[in-house]
Amino acid sequence: MDCSLARTLVRRYCAGEENWVDSRTIYVGHKEPPPGAEAYILQRHPDNRIVSSKYTFWNFIPKNLFEQFRRIANFYFLIIFLVQLIIDTPTSPVTSGLPLFFVITVTAIKQGYEDWLRHKADNAMNQCPVHFIQHGKLVRKQSRKLRVGDIVMVKEDETFPCDLIFLSSSRGDGTCHVTTASLDGESSHKTHYAVQDTKGFHTEEDIDGLHATIECEQPQPDLYKFVGRINVYNDRNDPVVRPLGSENLLLRGATLKNTEKIFGVAIYTGMETKMALNYQSKSQKRSAVEKSMNVFLIVYLCILISKALINTVLKYVWQSEPFRDEPWYNQKTESERQRNLFLRAFTDFLAFMVLFNYIIPVSMYVTVEMQKFLGSYFITWDEEMFDEDTGEGPLVNTSDLNEELGQVEYIFTDKTGTLTENNMEFKECCIEGHVYVPHAICNGQVLPGASGIDMIDSSPGTSAREQEELFFRALCLCHTIQVKDDDDVDGPRKSPDSGKSCTYISSSPDEVALVEGIQRLGFTYLRLKDNYMEILNRENDVERFELLEILSFDSVRRRMSVIVKSATGEIYLFCKGADSSIFPRVIEGKVDQIRARVERNAVEGLRTLCVAYKRLNPEEYEGICTLLQAAKVALQDREKKLAEAYEQIEKDLVLLGATAVEDRLQEKAADTIEALQKAGIKVWVLTGDKMETAAATCYACKLFRRNTQLLELTTKKIEEQSLHDVLFELSKTVLRHSGSLTRDNFSGLSADMQDYGLIIDGAALSLIMKPREDGSCGNYRELFLEICRNCSAVLCCRMAPLQKAQIVKLIKLSKEHPITLAIGDGANDVSMILEAHVGIGVIGKEGRQAARNSDYAVPKFKHLKKMLLVHGHFYYIRISELVQYFFYKNVCFIFPQFLYQFFCGFSQQTLYDTAYLTLYNISFTSLPILLYSLMEQHVSIDTLRRDPSLYRDIAKNALLRWRVFIYWTFLGVFDALVFFFGAYFMFENTTVTSNGQIFGNWTFGTLVFTVMVFTVTLKLALDTHYWTWINHFVIWGSLLFYIVFSLLWGGIIWPFLNYQRMYYVFIQMLSSGPAWLVIILLITVSLLPDVLKKVLCRQLWPSATERVQTKNQCLSVEQSTIFMLSQTSSSLSF
């Protein structure tokens, strides 16, 4: 034993983490196992402190600075600032240091405040009182002092302080009800089950006497998965081993409901709880605009280096003549003459870099962050996107992708709960070929016009009566529904029509619809009590079935089963699931008649399920128990072993019948898809449903139209021909009319083009994605993508969750690199939501896993229309103007400085005063563009909603392409030339003011700077289409602020300055009449080319957006004229 203990310790602490992370052992109540049972190894686990903060008091400054200087722009400006400190540069270190200090300080204050709030929240949580058992007594201590192995008592409406294994409760059946709203947003009550051998321990003394160990997996973030086992030691007996699953695990953050108290043992504490692991940040997505911004930044960095190199070379060329290098009034010292030439050249190069460094806009990053953060509130504030039925509004989980909403080219949508309401209505069931249609009932309410039981086919004979009732019992028993607790829960309902119907709760709306539907056919599920399921039959007799096993549903098997024992001792296995997973396992029953009915219902768009059963003898059941127990207690590969066990158990079934449930389309789902297609967005539906059901839904929501030619790439088609032949045949079909008909993004909506729709199933997709024998899979993928590009819509059915993500990734990484969006409402959609560029969760009835893992969340699918076509459009227009405008105004700012060097002997003399250099991007020009990027509406919201095709004008990053970027850059260069040479020629001809004084170089620089500030601000005013009082206040206020600041800066002798070069300069400049004329003239000349370009483009090559703007302006003028004429006529008549 000593050897094994030593081996374990060495393996755990010396051999590397990968050898021991799979499982942990917890000693309940910190009690050692009995002698001879197993080695007692004391394990170290973290305490129960939650730390959501990033910083401490001691590491805040270094850690925050490190994180901020990891940004390229911040690091670049830090280097420039250090260069200014080290060498003699033409500008003061303040000009770089102050903007950098401002940016770093603002960001640090924001992050520090947020972290302080996190510290407060952590302290409040960590100091909460917790009751735990110690020596048979209840002791109270702070939550942070809780340890793994402590036994905790939690009372009703308290939250669980850590992750607990549920040992016992005050309820006699060993259950408790829990809400997990703070974890996954689901407000419904979930039922959890105590360990079978400990559920009878109701007092502190009983619990303290428990002797057990728990073996479980190491902490992992999946809220819905847990694998473990408990060994309960009884006196002089081998331990009883029980499996532990997610139904026995109570998660930190969840709240106890409808249960007086529970006892549980802590297994994960502090930062190892599932809640803490889930709050860790996901990998960040980057938008196309951000990528373009970084590329443009690199271009401007190259321009900066080029400017510095050119000036350095020209300086030494100009100084090659001795009298220029050493004028009589500035002779060099001997040490300066002997200084190394290359060192001098390098120093001069750095000095020029410092002089021109303002071409890189450091404040752009701060402005972009503020624009994204503040702009995201426009979605959450949108009242039109609020759903009154659910009381939910849109959520923004990340603001980094706002503009990406305006660039979407492909939408991948789930069907159930996304396109449809996930509000199931039981339509019919087919038993032994006979069809039954009950009252039309939906969510517990009988729909109008429904009456009685309608037998469409003739009633079955006496011999089939047993099969009929067996089918009804199967649907009453094969589910995981909970009956809502009422005060009279102990009084069973006497009749399904007694006026007091059962209230059913389930994570699956299908199950509720089926049980409610069968209730109208005479069989009512009452409750699960003491592991017995009670149902009320047609004769109003209560039947009790002992629930032996549940073989849970999963998306791979696509079926679930229960094993029950009747009062007469017969053991049944009832199984329900998709037809594709039931029919292959059936050996008896009227398969052909039921299959025909299933296919007919699927074509009508109904969701179908098949029901089968088999009788088990005691020996078979014992074998099943042994098989399941071995799989359930396994710590390694438990899911795989359970799946293998289920596969062995669910076979040789007898087919009973099938059900049909209708899932109605969501309101305006069809209008939304039609609008998205008109916007040039391709919509794909990815679903796990049958092909026929999904196709019917696609027709109903107008994804497929009546003239759409459907192309099938399904398993059935591949069985008839090879995959290679099917793909080439489809490729020939879609490309028959030559490449001119390639639809690309335009959805094939043109009347003169054949409209194609593709249907593919999961099995066919697996074959396409599977590598070929020669090791390549590219050819099939490329062929498949070529077919998809030429189809207006694609339906992928029978898709597993992972396959949904594969489809999204396949399109995302294709050669066009389109922007993709995935939208879904369930946990099975999370993988594709995380894979897409933009993930949107629908806050639906399948929980909030999708909404929690998404970038944005909306209450209904119809809200996607406004989110993309309005909000996305505005976000992209605004931020693209912000980025281009920032680069433009900095070119205007720095290019005159570059030109000035040609007139000052490349002496690195600055053109502008230090104050102007510092405040240009911080104060004089920052607020107008920030407000523009938050409020601009180039066309009205109604216009964007009414005309979805306007979305195409901004597709494929249209406003940040190289052509547009070069235009803005050349516009900045042109304006800079006008500023500089216009002022230069004015000074050349008008050198004397009215009082005879001569203008100096600081007056020249101030004149250039004044023209520049007014020009770039008025340029933004010309680009503004949506004027409010805030726009007027900020734009004209910024210009007024510049004038007032310049008057104060030059009108007072500031004692803290070691120079007074700007004293009276601005006032003197304004006192000159020619200066006023030049300012007005240069501003006009600078703005003229941009105005002419816009007028000509609108007249000769107008975009769709410009045509709409012109039309709206004409309508506005026409309405104003009519109003004026009507007013004139009324006054004349008076």
Q: Scanning the structure block, which residue is given the tokens 């400085």?
A: 897
Q: What is d(CA 1004, CA 911) in angstroms, rounded to the nearest whole number?
A: 8
Supply the DSSP string of 348-362, one letter for each residue. HHHHHHHHHGGGS-H
Are 358 and 917 spatial neighbours (Cβ–Cβ below 8 Å)? yes
Closest Cα partner for 144 from 126, 159, 125?
Answer: 126
- Beta-carbon count within 10 A of 116 CB: 13
Which tokens belong to 1073?
Answer: 């009449």
Which tokens belong to 69?
Answer: 């200087």
Q: Scanning the structure block, which residue is given the tokens 């120093």?
A: 347
Q: What is d(CA 1018, CA 1035) in angstroms, rounded to the nearest whole number?
A: 8
- Beta-carbon count within 10 A of 643 CB: 14
As a 3-state breakdown, the chain gives helix, strand, coil percent values, each rounded to 5, of: 50, 20, 30
- Beta-carbon count within 10 A of 602 CB: 21
Q: Scanning the structure block, which residue is given the tokens 């735990």?
A: 132
Question: C-alpha dihedral over 825, 830, 835, 840, to 10 degrees?
Answer: 30
Q: Scanning the structure block, which residue is given the tokens 């990340």?
A: 398
* C-alpha 608: how far from chain center: 32
Run of H or E including 563: strand 559-565
**First CA to last CA distance, the chain:** 114
- What is the arrangement of strands in the sheet containing 410-413, beginning at the earlier edge strand? 395-396, 856-858, 838-842, 820-824, 410-413, 682-686, 793-797, 756-761, 709-713
Q: What is d(CA 261, CA 154) in angstroms, rounded to the nearest whole number?
A: 6
Q: What is d(CA 145, CA 240) in angstroms, rounded to the nearest whole number?
A: 31
Residue 497 is among the residues annotated as catalytic for this protein: no
Q: What is d(CA 1134, CA 1121) in angstroms, rounded to the nearest whole number?
A: 20
Are 929 and 886 spatial neighbours (Cβ–Cβ below 8 Å)? yes
Give Dmax over CA atoms of the chain in angstroms: 126
Q: What is d(CA 1081, CA 983) in angstroms, rounded to the nearest whole number?
A: 10
Q: What is d(CA 686, CA 798) in angstroms, rounded to the nearest whole number?
A: 8
Helix (H, G, I), strand (E, B) or coil at 251: coil
Are 667 and 420 spatial neighbours (Cβ–Cβ below 8 Å)? no
Query: How much is the CA Rg of the chain, to the nearest whole Å?
Result: 37
Helices (H), 357-505: 362-375, 377-380, 462-477
HEC letters along 697-761:
HHHHCCCCCCCCEEEEECHHHHHHCCHHHHHHHHHHHHCCCCHHHCCCCCCCCCCCCCCEEEEEE
Are 809 and 410 spatial neighbours (Cβ–Cβ below 8 Å)? no
Which tokens belong to 927?
Answer: 């607020």
Bridge partners, residue 561, by sequence: 551, 575
What's the number of CA atoms in the CB half-sphere (13 Å) around residue 629? 11
Are 797 and 761 spatial neighbours (Cβ–Cβ below 8 Å)? yes
Which tokens belong to 998?
Answer: 């001569």
- The residue from 150, 163, 414, 913 that is catalytic is 414
Q: What is d(CA 104, CA 127) in angstroms, rounded to the nearest whole number?
A: 34
Q: Scanning the structure block, which residue is given the tokens 């600041």?
A: 1045
The identity of residue 23, as a single letter, is S
Run of H or E including 811: helix 801-812
* Catalytic sites, residue numbers: 414
